[in-house]
Structure 1
């Protein structure tokens, strides 16, 4: 089935580009590259601010102490950040589809403008601890709109760059956004250090001008592409493929852990070890910063050693590191806990890169299998390229649900035992299952029989390339 074109695909105007051929070397060198880079940097800024807003309650929770009027139990705070993570995960799917419908520039302006709403609400809520809990949750959860920005930003930049440069561009875009988790935590640290924990409202206030800056830069610097398409048929086909569900499961283990622990780390330090807001804030930014910066390394390791091999051993290392985190709680050793969690964040970054590398490798292998079975090469490569592209966006959305699960598990763990240890035990079991799945599906001796029941033109083994 042919891709479905956007109803706006023929629009013209100053911001719309009607001719875009990044795969043409002459066009790319003379015209395309500077335009693509300009859109990339503007996109990174907007996505970075989006991630910061998405993470803002993981920071503001450090300010919510009895001294500031918040007599909240740990499970109440974990529920708040869980809802914020949930909204962000859900919005990633429609945000992906919004770029071809509205245009990349237009949607970046719209999505950045939407960030004003949760920022204003956060500014109000953190100063009003007497707000009914249910209303606080509803209003605070609007920060999830920042989580959707990742998918729309990645979908938009994907249209601009040629295949040979997409890895670099998308990696830079993703890393620039992810590090927004660490940035907002640094802002929180600065506010606590300079103005004490009673000045939490200054954190959202700090971001207000940067949101306006992102809107202005998108308005001035970005473009819309008429060639951008909404490939709904490919998205539907992707969900029918078993590898979509397997890779989503693995990405929940890596990215879900990154965003989930990024949201939860400060709360763990406060509630497990009794750290004061300033003490917790001085540590929390390190994990997300490390995880964001190390992500490209995971991709490069996968290029050299094989995506499945890196992913498998990475999950084994996550099992070991999480076991040590449990031990650090049992012996009440804060230094060990922080050190081990730093390693966990490194591993989530490596895993994010290696899992995302596996996806196009799998579908390159499927294309080769289809060609061997008699499918014309152009048809096989075109079909599997569409499926892989759609899968990248959908798996990104699925992975974000892991952040929801982590904070809900911690909520139940503290409510039942007043400790994070049972929750961490659950996570290490999950990582062990992820390692087993990776080995069983992508590292065992590959078969050459066609996958039964598939309806795609590309059937057969996909394990060889993934290894």
Structure 2
């Protein structure tokens, strides 16, 4: 049982809150095109593949830029990196509001919104570096729960566009919460005194040379990539498959997104209690089963229930992965956060592309959901194979970290 008083005293409440808010508003902006895609697609007469590309590009941009922000986090600290990230996020919002008048323009906006997605590489180390190993899962789960910002996009983006009669204005209105959070972050966030020494490019190579890095990348592509990809694509899915209006389609997407957002801290907490390995194997099984049944394209409410559970598993899986990552790579948190986060972004890029492109070529969403289910199940198989070696080095009984061997694994 986590001692709440001890947890609060062991870290910095202002930085934890700032991390959450920065992540929250960034996620809101990162997936802004997801709910708006139906309206944009109507204006530009987009096919299934073009709609998928539009909502996938922010994930690609975030994936690339997370490596940059991860490097900056180690060089100048997470607070300064977060400030830079929020300032740069103004660019796509202003451009989408005032200057975007073609699909090419919107592709540019989509790619640049990746700056908001890159917030992951600064927000999580800002929180993580304040807390001891036994509270990593909870601290990162709380900060990472900022992915709940997606809920604001799906709930309000299309309603605001409908109210003002123009989806462009939504980008301008989104500047308001960004500015508010910017000033809160500026005055309440504080870098931990336990900052690791700045690392060099060769240190990235050392981390990338380790097999575990790529395994964590794969695992996070399925959990975080699945969550962010679904968050961006579900409005299109509900509109296309069930004929819902843009607002109603986004509302159904919100139901599923809530599960993935709110259960992330629970995933981190349960991983602290029962071990991240055991937790992840259960969650991948749940995700795979739910997506496989969704592939049958049942009635609307059945599909929503299945996707609700699947995204709940993805959200908890995000917390579980990042309960393990800082333990395995305790001296390279900034680097590994950027690398694994980038992989998660790539997952968010490929998921809409898989669903959208296969829908265009086959006329059905079934093949896409079956492929996604198979990927989740493959993670169980891979984890079952590698956990034997992990238990000999840095994982103890039940999947919990051996505290005395964390740093002994090395390169």
- Give the secondary structure class of the aligned counterpart of 2:232: helix
Does residue 345 of the first structure (1) align with residue 278 of the second (2)?
no
Shift of 1:224: 5.1
CA pair 184-125 structure 1, distance change in 2 beyond 3 A: farther
Does residue 55 of the first structure (1) align with residue 26 of the second (2)?
no
Shift of 1:258: 0.7
- Which of 40, 45, 50 is matched with 2:21 structurally? 45
Paired residues for 1:63-212 under 5 Å: 63-66=39-42, 69-124=43-98, 128=101, 131=102, 133-175=103-145, 177-191=146-160, 195=163, 198-212=165-179
CA pair 138-147 structure 1, distance change in 2 beyond 3 A: same
Conserved? CA contact 1:104–1:225, under 8 Å: no
Paired residues for 1:52-451 under 5 Å: 52-66=28-42, 69-124=43-98, 128=101, 131=102, 133-175=103-145, 177-191=146-160, 195=163, 198-223=165-190, 228=195, 229-232=197-200, 234-327=203-296, 329=297, 333-359=299-325, 363=328, 385-387=330-332, 390-442=335-387
Shift of 1:430: 0.9
CA pair 206-270 structure 1, distance change in 2 beyond 3 A: same
Conserved? CA contact 1:237–1:387, under 8 Å: no
| Per-residue CA distance 1:331-387 (angstroms, 9 max, x = gap) | 5x22221111111111111222222233356x4xxxxxxxxxxxxxxxxxxxx6315
Quote the Cα distance in structure 1 between the aligned partners of 2:285 and 2:215: 17
More deviation in 96-105 or 237-246?
A: 96-105
Aligned Cα root-mean-square deviation (Å): 2.7
- Give the secondary structure class of the aligned counterpart of 2:46: coil
Quote the Cα distance in structure 2 between the aligned partners of 1:432 and 1:108: 36
Quote the Cα distance in structure 1 between the aligned partners of 2:95 and 2:76: 27
Conserved? CA contact 1:97–1:152, under 8 Å: no
CA pair 107-462 structure 1, distance change in 2 beyond 3 A: closer
Shift of 1:56: 0.8
- Give the secondary structure class of the aligned counterpart of 1:179: helix
Conserved? CA contact 1:256–1:403, under 8 Å: yes
Quote the Cα distance in structure 1 between the aligned partners of 2:80 and 2:394: 41
Shift of 1:314: 1.6
Quote the Cα distance in structure 2 between the aligned partners of 1:446 and 1:38: 35
Shift of 1:50: 1.2
Shift of 1:55: 0.7
Shift of 1:249: 1.1
Shift of 1:427: 0.7
Quote the Cα distance in structure 1 between the aligned partners of 2:130 and 2:322: 19
Conserved? CA contact 1:321–1:344, under 8 Å: yes
| Aligned twin of 2:5 | none
Structure 1 residue runs of 5 or longer lacking an equivalent are 1-27, 364-383, 449-459
Q: TM-score, normalised by structure 1?
A: 0.77
| Aligned twin of 2:399 | 466
Quote the Cα distance in structure 2 between the aligned partners of 1:172 and 1:316: 24
CA pair 317-158 structure 1, distance change in 2 beyond 3 A: closer
Conserved? CA contact 2:141–2:269, under 8 Å: no
Structure 2 residue runs of 5 or longer lacking an equivalent are 1-7, 401-411
Quote the Cα distance in structure 1 between the aligned partners of 2:38 and 2:338: 32
> What count of residue pairs does the alignment treat as equivalent?
392
Quote the Cα distance in structure 2 between the aligned partners of 1:302 and 1:162: 15
| Per-residue CA distance 1:223-280 (angstroms, 9 max, x = gap) | 4567633234554332222111112111111111011111111011111222111221
Conserved? CA contact 1:315–1:434, under 8 Å: yes
Quote the Cα distance in structure 2 between the aligned partners of 1:108 and 1:249: 26
Larger radius of gyration: 1
- Give the secondary structure class of the aligned counterpart of 2:174: helix
More deviation in 240-249 or 392-401?
A: 392-401
CA pair 165-429 structure 1, distance change in 2 beyond 3 A: closer
Quote the Cα distance in structure 1 between the aligned partners of 2:199 and 2:389: 34
- Give the secondary structure class of the aligned counterpart of 1:160: coil
